[in-house]
Amino acid sequence: MAAPPALSGAEQSAQASPQPIAVRNRAKRPRPPRPGPTDAGRAGGRASARIPLRHDGGPREAGRPGRLDRRGARGAGSGGAGAFPRRLGPLPRTPTLPRPAPRPRPPALTEAHVARIAPHAGDPPPPGGTPLDEAGRLAVARELLAEKGDGPFWVLAYGSLIWKPAFEHVETRRVAVHGWRRAFCMDMHDWRATPRQPGLMMALARGGACVGLAYRMPDDDPEGRMLRLVDREVGYAEDRPWLRWVRARGEGGPIRALAFYCAPVAHPTLLHLPIETQAARIARAAGPAGSCAEYLHNTVVHLEALGIRDRYLWRLQALVAAEIEAEHAGRRGTPPRDAGSGALRT
């Protein structure tokens, strides 16, 4: 058998190298041309190439049936002589309903707990400061009026003034005060306490926020109305640094309101106690005006009725209820620490 003919070098290299695979040419389908100007546009030169969308129920422009765009409006078709629809403005929003007030929660501190605290018996305790006479109260009232400035006379209520205002007012607003929060931070040895069993009074401490009510006083006789407020809320000359005007915000805009008992930077009766120690004092203190637990119970119940939630007061009332239960079950809780054993005075 004859041998195959010898191959040249070029033929041998062509057999050794793989042959390229033919790739199918996948050319993109040409896009249809964009619609050009209309005849009127060519004639006028500056006429718009876009045809406005009909909103009055008139006939549609030529082209495909209309479709919904992302705003939910039906636009004209994009084919034929019809042009692209004009961008619509934002659709009117559905009016939002006001958020319903939260349902009142039953507090852990009940009237039954308050009734377990022994009422004060005996002589009234000595005054806790220098009592204000008539001239002193009038001087305080005039100082506060001078600090008020122009505008209506507003009074801030965050505690007992909510459930016992006891003065005439012509308007009530729900307001928020930023930079101040509720706190039982005022040392008390009378009224709802005694020197033997000291208590705590609620005031506004620096930091956080407080939601309460603001009462607008009538415009007539501002000095007489301020004097009656001072007679009710201020008992001693040492209380004057605790009175100040604060800025509150509500539905009607910002206002300046008089707040009774805002903690000063430093004062002999200002205490910073842990919340457990506060609860121990409040659960035991009582004086000629009642108990501290009664004051806390009334405040929490009325705040809940107004839909105002204060996490600090809600936790404190639960601790006070537990202290009272432990006290009357024979399992005494942690005894309250006095100023000399753990209380921080500033």
CA dihedral 268, 269, 274, 279 (to 10 degrees): 160
Mean per-residue pLDDT, 150-168: 94
pLDDT value of position 177 = 97
* 37 pLDDT more than 80: no
Residue 96 or 124, more confident? 124
Q: How far apart, in whole angstroms, are the C-alpha atoms of residue 159 and residue 182?
A: 9
Question: Whole-angstrom distance between the N-terminal and C-terminal Cα of the chain?
Answer: 121
Confidence of residue 5 (pLDDT cuts 50, 70, 90): low
233 is catalytic: yes
| Residue extents of the structural domains in the chain | 126-345
pLDDT digits (tens, 9 = 90+) for 181-212: 999 999 999 999 999 999 999 999 999 999 99
Element (H, E) at 155: strand 154-157
* Residue 274 CB neighbours (<10 A): 12
**pLDDT over 90 percentage in the chain:** 58
Confidence of residue 258 (pLDDT cuts 50, 70, 90): very high
* 147 pLDDT more than 50: yes
* Residue 3 CB neighbours (<10 A): 5
CA distances from 41 to 24, 46, 61, 187 (A): 44, 6, 16, 86
- Its pTM stands at 0.68
Bridge partners of 271, per DSSP, are 345
* 261 pLDDT more than 90: yes
**Mean pLDDT of the chain, nearest integer:** 80
CATH superfamily of 126-345: Gamma-glutamyl cyclotransferase-like (3.10.490.10)
Residue 82: name the closest of 109, 61, 59, 102 by CA: 61
CA distances from 150 to 14, 167, 219, 243 (A): 103, 22, 12, 18
pLDDT value of position 9 = 57
pLDDT value of position 24 = 57
CA distances from 263 to 17, 103, 136, 208, 337 (A): 94, 32, 21, 13, 21
Report, in angstroms and rounded to the nearest whole number, the Rg of the chain calculated over CA atoms: 40
pLDDT value of position 294 = 97
* 57 pLDDT more than 50: no
- Catalytic member of 134, 168, 233, 325: 233
pLDDT value of position 310 = 97
Q: How far apart, in whole angstroms, are the C-alpha atoms of residue 300 and residue 317?
A: 8
Element (H, E) at 254: strand 253-260
